[in-house]
Chain A
Amino acid sequence: MPAVPEMLKTVRLRKKFESEGAPVRALRGVDLVVAAGEFVAVTGPSGCGKSTLLNLVSGLDTPSDGEVFLAGESLAGKDESELAHLRRRHVGFVFQFFNLLEDTSALENVALAAVIAGASRRKAELRARELLDLLGLPDKAGELPGVLSGGQRQRLAIARALANEPTLLLADEPTGALDSMGGLEVLELFRRLHAGGQTILLVTHDAGVADAAERVVRMQDGRIVGATIAPPVVRAVGG
């Protein structure tokens, strides 16, 4: 039986930060697999290494030990430029505090992601409008993010993350800065995207938010300590 492709695989991932005094071991050997089309949530108390995991997975940081495979490609040994190119193709990032360009219009925020990935200006704008429509912000194209509500801003950030049809959508505490209404909006959006086939890896300390996912992985002190919902098990090759 053909295996479901692994969008993300980490093998014995470790990360150690040097700081004043003792070094901090943020990750102590994490093995994680996310199959195509999966919606996985990683939860745990603050400081357990969730954000570090996302940074390593997207190539924004390099592991002290272990390897990351993104869409089948290993990130090991790749230089900045190659990692950046990989990011453009495969990764869409959604942050807790949105990280939108506040002095740029909503349309431009989304289009920029596509332009950076090499799309022509026209195609980028078309795609941006599509996404804004898709995410319920059709009339906000020319607005600055400052006039949008929290929920709308995060939807805009998600639109940006989707601009290049990323293999993997990464979200770092996406509802952390939102009120309950906004949070629900965003979670609903993630479900919809998942239903449409998008692979999502979401990181949160809020168990309620994690429940929106298909599979929840629990982390503590840099290690995976359990999974709450039985995953559609990744079938090994041949199995």
Chain B
Amino acid sequence: MCFRAELRSRWRTWVTLAVLAGIAGGFVTAGIAGARRTDTALARHLHTYRFSDATVFAENVAAEGNRDVRSRRRLAQLGTLPQVQASALDSELAYCARDAKNRPVIDTGPQAVLFLVSIDGRDGVALNRPKLLAGRTVDPTQPREALLDSRSARRFGVQPGDVIPIRVFPSFGDKTVGAFRCDPRDSGPLQPGQPTRREVRQILVSCPGPRPCNEARAVIDRLYASLEKGADFARLAKKFSDDPGGRAHGGRLWITLGQTVEPFNTTAFRLPMGSVSRPLKTHYGWHIVQPLTQPMPDGVLVRLMVVGVKATTDQYPIGRVLLTPAFDRVYGFDSRYFDSELIVRLRHGAADLPAFRKETADEASSLNSEHEAAAKIQRSIHHQAQALRLAAAVGALLCFVLLAQALARLASFATAQHPTLRALGMTRRQLFALGAARGAAIAVPAAALAASIAVALSSLTPIGLARELEPDPGISFDSFTIGLGTAAVLVAVVLAGAYAASRATREPAVAIQATAPPRRVPVADALAQWHFPATIVSGVRLALARGQGTTAIPVGATVLAGVLAVSVVAVALTFTASLHHLFSTPRLYGQNWDYRSNYTVPSAASIRADPRISDFARGGFQDHVLLNGRPVGVVAMDNVKGRIDPVVTAGQAPERADEILLAQKTLDALGLQIGDMVQVRVRRAVRMRIVGRGVVPEASFNELGQGAALTWQAYRRLDPRARPYSLEMRIARGADTQATLARLERRYVTPAPGPPKTVADFGGVSELPLVVSGLLVAIAAGVLAHALVMAIRARRRQLAVLKTLGFDRRQVFATIIWQATTLAAIGLLVGLPLGVALGRWTWTLFAEQIGVVPEPVTPLPLILLVVPAAVLLANLVAALPAWRAARTRAAAVLRAE
């Protein structure tokens, strides 16, 4: 009966608390369930889409010809082994392409895209089925259809229906394999690394067989004379040329730059149209050459049609494009493949791998375990899931703090009646039961709301990398986590209610008028002294006065809620600003330069003369340097112009040939500090001193936070035969950065790198801090509103007295507004500096954890914006309670006691 009475009178409070607890519980549960879903997404994807367990590679040996039929056959045979459940044969294509920003796309480096041609049509069908994000998969009978993964689709800036023009080549150019810096649409003849061809006619008079060369010389001179007089080249070639293939077609043939002997090669490509070469001698004999076409790129232009986009399953930063068996049939002759590869799915998965590995081991092929590759991807995904879990945990903690005091306040209001009820004859146990019933009445709707919110929010998960991979997108019902979360909300609320009730039942059963004497509010007194208007003084007093008995308000807890909300926002803003700063400051993740390349090193003189390059260093990277027996990735550079040092966080950069700098995690792994000696070995072993700690750029061989740096001179002591093959450059201030970078990319092949994988991983979840803080601000606003309403109710009498003294409605309204503003002001005064300090501290911890230079950033304009925002929010929250207080009939209040 008492329960029903209390329900009737306080149902609004109960509903508010239930809603707040439900929202908080819902979001936290959603976060934990989402983290779980994120963590398991990759494994479920690989299972659902029948992913491969291993890939066997057989490198294409140029001498075998384009199709490399032999290695294909051998690989296909491996597909019949007993461990293999399904297999697919692919070949990796040598191509020339440009991305959305018209930058070259190549198959290696930080923006690598692999073009794979499905030779037997089984890739994506028998195994490695694609999870389509848009469009459809390829039709194996269509030679120009292409299926892209999302990463490559982003690079090319295309969607299903778009066209990607590429060039394919029958041969590799004179540069390093893969370094094709060509524009597929450019038909200019000479592009570095790209084969150039030309159609010519030639007349060959062989020597020394079948005739001596002086005779051949005489023949060719006669022929040349005839040509000069206007004879027809084709007829002469048919009649006199010793080149069998050419004779049939009037001496016509296609030649590729660099693929014929000198001086024929150079002469043939230099000849202008309409001219005829003088006789020239090669070891084949004497030639005369006539050009028929201008030199042109030696590659067929293929306009690929994008038919679909699938989820990305390759490690960052690799993207993938799948082409059809029809492509191989139509363009295979004109194409060059780097290798052939057999993708296999084993009957017993990873368990069959060792046996399969043994069967396939030979010198001509190598095997990659897809499980290892997937493990690397999973690590990135796991980081993001952990971030979500952390956010949920922080959210849970803060929500609990905010709501616990709201619940306690509710309980204290109710238990203020306990002495009266006890006097009327209720036993302790009945009061306890009442408290528990109250808790349950709030807990059950709260738990139901929490469960609904968690289920509804599940459609937003998984987050980050895993989102694409999720085989069952949309709403998911993680019964375990949701059940746990619901139970937690129930237990927490009931416990809080019971605890508050138990504390009250321990008080003596006597109605106590005033337990603690009221305290002054010095701030309000001071404001009164300083002639502040009565509304402000009254508002401040209402906010900060504790009151007593039934008018008691836990001021401290309300103020704490405000401080917490503001500081959480400040932490989130600081953290997010520091994260964005990290993205835009490559120096922080070890890239103390603007451009780096591994392909060729220009002369020092040319760089010194280039005003656009302010600093230049050259040397090399080595992935397997042993430091005290441990393999570490090492960067070794000497400054040629200006100064490019590794990024140093303690100590100094290595300068002498016996000095070395280590990254933090490497130092920890080796158990060393600055000043210690370490044994470094490549071909020779040398003892060096650790002179500094720093950040070495992430590479394939060392994660962020690992690595070492020394001078190239020092490296030469370890490997005297080493030659510099890498360069680092910084673009001069004032130079056009974009244009210079583009030029460097064209010259040195390697695209300018972006942030390393670890940093990019966190880019995927950079909004998380803001989402969490948004939620907490909402909850804090709810708590503040609740506190205001309760305070107004408790101080009804006081407000009525003010009305009696002559406050009109406007002044009562203003008083409540000032009450809310006071709470906001305290929150800001304490919360902002606290939050900024905390944000900087947590960022520093985080940065050290992932291995970048900790450089926290305080976004001052945004932080200052929080001030008016908080005041505005407080006023908005207070508006309704203030309006209602203003309309309270003083008479009604004063009539009752």
Contact = CB atoms under 8 A, between A and B. Distances in A.
Contacts of A93: 804-805
Interface stretch (A1-9, A98-106, A202-210, A224-232): A98-106
A51 interface: yes
A69 interface: no
Interface string A136-152: 00000000101000000
Contacts of B808: 80-81, 83-85
Contacts of A97: 897
Contacts of A95: 801, 894
B806 A87 contact: yes
B807 A102 contact: no
A52 B578 CA distance: 65
B534 interface: yes
A117 interface: yes
Most chain A CB within 10 A, of B519, B801, B897, is at B801
Contacts of B541: 101, 103-104
A88 interface: yes
B528 A101 contact: no
B525 A102 contact: no
Contact of B518 (A88, A102, A115, A117): A102
A121 B532 CA distance: 9
A227 to B, nearest CB: 26
Contact of B805 (A51, A80, A116, A144): A116
Nearest to B892: A61
A103 B521 contact: yes
B895 interface: yes
B528 A116 contact: no
Contacts, number: 97
A75 to B, nearest CB: 13
B798 A101 contact: yes
A108 interface: yes
A113 B537 CA distance: 13
A144 B534 contact: no
Interface residues of B, number: 39
Interface string B431-467: 0000000000000000000000000000000000000
A84 B518 contact: no
A136 to B, nearest CB: 22
Given A61-B891, A81-B810, A99-B797, A144 B897 contact: no
A83 B808 CA distance: 8
Contact of B520 (A51, A61, A105): A105
Contact of A112 (B529, B531, B546, B805): B805
B399 interface: no
A101 B799 CA distance: 10
Contacts of A104: 520-521, 524-525, 541
B891 A103 contact: no
A60 B804 contact: yes
B890 interface: yes
Nearest to A163: B805
Contacts of B897: 97
A144 B520 contact: yes
A102 B547 CA distance: 8
B496 to A, nearest CB: 29
A113 B894 contact: no
A58 interface: yes
Most chain A CB within 10 A, of B548, B890, B892, is at B890
Given A55-B895, A115-B534, A108 B807 contact: no
B889 A99 contact: no
B809 A103 contact: no
Contacts of A60: 803-804, 889-891, 894
A204 B520 CA distance: 33
Most chain B CB within 10 A, of A51, A60, A83, A87, is at A60
A144 B517 contact: yes
B891 A116 contact: no
B545 A103 contact: yes
Nearest to A60: B891
Nearest to B551: A102
Nearest to B895: A51
A61 B806 contact: no
Contacts of A61: 889, 891-892
Contacts of B521: 103-104
A102 B514 CA distance: 11
Contacts of A58: 804
B520 A103 contact: yes
Give the dominant DSSP class at B's interface: helix
Nearest to B809: A80
B520 A121 contact: no
A116 B806 contact: yes
Most chain B CB within 10 A, of A61, A116, A144, is at A116
A145 B43 CA distance: 72
Nearest to B520: A103
A104 B894 CA distance: 20
A99 B796 CA distance: 11
A97 B798 CA distance: 12
B518 A103 contact: yes
Contacts of B810: 81
Given A95-B894, A99-B797, A115-B534, A108 B528 contact: yes
Interface in A111-137: 111-113, 115-117, 120-121
Contacts of A103: 518-521, 524, 541, 545-547
Contacts of B811: 84, 116
Contacts of B798: 99, 101
B534 A55 contact: no
A214 to B, nearest CB: 25
Nearest to A102: B518
Given A60-B894, A97-B897, A121-B531, A113 B806 contact: yes
Nearest to A121: B531
A112 B334 CA distance: 97
B513 to A, nearest CB: 11
A120 B530 CA distance: 11
A195 B384 CA distance: 84
Contacts of B548: 102
B891 A112 contact: no
B534 A116 contact: yes
Interface string B861-897: 0000000000000000000000000000111101101
Interface string B788-806: 0000000001101111111
Interface in A58-96: 58, 60-61, 80-81, 83-85, 87-88, 93, 95
Contacts of A101: 541, 798, 801
A63 to B, nearest CB: 11
B895 A84 contact: no
A81 B807 CA distance: 8
A117 B891 contact: no
Contacts of B894: 55, 60, 95, 99
Interface in A139-172: 144, 146, 160
Interface string B532-555: 001001000100011110000000
A104 B548 CA distance: 14
B517 A146 contact: yes
Nearest to B801: A99
14 contacts: A55-B891, A60-B891, A61-B892, A80-B808, A81-B809, A85-B808, A87-B804, A97-B897, A99-B800, A102-B548, A103-B547, A104-B520, A115-B528, A116-B802
Closest 5 CB pairs of A and B: A88-B806, A84-B808, A61-B891, A55-B891, A81-B808
Given A60-B889, A117-B806, 19 more contacts: A60-B803, A60-B890, A61-B891, A81-B809, A84-B803, A84-B807, A84-B811, A85-B806, A87-B806, A97-B897, A99-B798, A102-B518, A103-B524, A103-B545, A115-B528, A116-B534, A121-B528, A144-B517, A144-B520
